A and B are shown apart, each in its own frame.
Chain A
Amino acid sequence: EVQLVESGGGLVQPGGSLRLSCAASGFTFSNYWMSWVRQAPGKGLEWVANIKEDGSEQYYLDSVKGRFTISRDNAKKSLYLQMNSLRAEDTAVYYCARDSSGHYNAWGQGTLVTVSS
């Protein structure tokens, strides 16, 4: 069974940092691009970043460029999102998603990040 389990969310002050993790199981992690998608409270879905199978390419939403870094460890079957200089507008549930040629055919349950003083 394909599983993606996120962790690392929580309450952080504006300007603070947080590192999200996503543990994958049930499939060959190193064969897939992976993405982070977020959803602000009561809002729609927004793609945040993605990373190539071997980690050699990463792409970001314009509003998080320079602040967020996506990375992966294929040996540990894990995906990460380092989030720095957090803003109130980054408050959202962050989902880890498996990218299959552009669409997302597996999702984690999400982890809530709240940026507030």
Chain B
Amino acid sequence: EIVLTQSPGTLSLFPGERATLSCRASQSVSSNNLAWYQQKSGQAPRLLIYGVSSRAAGIPNRFSGSGSGTDFTLTISRLEPEDFAVYYCQQYGSSNFGGGTKVEIK
């Protein structure tokens, strides 16, 4: 079973800053089978990125995904007020999720 470890646990940033979130897998993730989700307080998760780097429908281009093998990154180029939330990575094979990174306002 592939275990996903997200870091940092919490990221404190100002609006307008760049956010870089990490997702590390315990084994290589095959076929780019990695996705990212955003979850705001009291809401269901929302798909942001799939296939490592493809943005889901309606997702702004300030969100981007990259990486390969065991190391993956979600980048938010300039944080908007609505981007402060918890972010999860997920690998498709066993549908495992990472523990999440909370992006909070500094």
Q: Tell me if A102 and B33 are in contact (CB < 8 A).
A: yes
Interface residues on A, range: 10 to 19
B 63-103 to A, binary, CB cutoff 8 A, 1 in contact else 0: 00000000000000000000000001010111111111000
> Which B residues are in CB contact (< 8 Å) with A100?
50
- Dominant secondary structure at the B interface: loop
Q: Point out which of B33, B44, B47, B93 has the most chain A C-beta atoms below 10 A from its C-beta.
A: B44
Q: Does A76 contact B (CB under 8 A)?
A: no
Q: Does B46 contact A (CB under 8 A)?
A: yes
Q: Does B35 contact A (CB under 8 A)?
A: yes
Q: Tell me if A101 and B92 are in contact (CB < 8 A).
A: yes
The 5 closest A-B pairs by CB, nearest first: A102-B92, A47-B95, A103-B35, A107-B44, A103-B50
